[in-house]
């Protein structure tokens, strides 16, 4: 038997969230719910047949701990565990405040 066994390295515990977490940027289109905002994310894609650039949009329900976001704000949302039936995103930061006319 070997008296000087090499110690096994300690298992590293991840302290940060998942590195491959999806993040999207979109506009708040509704803030009428409690602790929830609806964010519309637009993306530009090329049409398969015609080659024209078209805009596709999707709406996501995102969780907000504080109701500090107004309609028209540009926010970043990140994917998280499902919070409710339709809500699996959280607002991570405010990119741009909406301009009041």
> What's the CATH code of the domain at 91?
2.40.50.140
> What are the backbone dihedrals phi and psi of residue 56, each rounded to the nearest 5 degrees, phi first?
-110, 145
Task: Please indicate, yes or no, if residue 14 is contained in any of the structural domains.
Answer: no
So what's the pLDDT on residue 33? 93
Q: Which domain holds residue 64?
A: 23-96
So what's the pLDDT on residue 15? 40
Output DSSP code: residue 101. -
Q: Report the number of distinct structural domains present in the chain.
A: 1
Task: Please indicate, yes or no, if residue 72 is contained in any of the structural domains.
Answer: yes
Tokens representing residue 101 in the block: 């006319």
Q: How far is CA 62 from the centre of its chain?
A: 8
Structure confidence by residue, pLDDT tens digits, 44-87:
999 999 999 999 999 999 999 887 899 999 999 999 999 999 99
For the four alpha carbons of 70, 73, 76 and 82, in that order, the dihedral sign comes to positive
Task: Please indicate, yes or no, if residue 59 is contained in any of the structural domains.
Answer: yes
The CA distances from residue 101 to 20, 67, 98, in Å, are: 38, 22, 9
Task: Please indicate, yes or no, if residue 9 is contained in any of the structural domains.
Answer: no
């Amino acid at each position: 038997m070997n008296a000087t066994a090499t110690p096994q390295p300690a298992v590293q515990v991840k302290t940060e969230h998942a590195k491959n977490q999806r993040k999207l940027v979109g506009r708040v289109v509704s803030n009428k719910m409690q602790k929830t905002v609806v964010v519309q994310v637009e993306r530009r894609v090329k049409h398969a047949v015609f080659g024209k650039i078209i805009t596709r949009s999707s709406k996501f329900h995102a969780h907000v701990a504080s109701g500090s976001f107004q309609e028209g704000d540009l926010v970043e949302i990140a994917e998280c565990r499902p919070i409710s039936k339709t809500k699996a995103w959280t607002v991570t930061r405010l990119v741009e405040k909406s301009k009041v006319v």
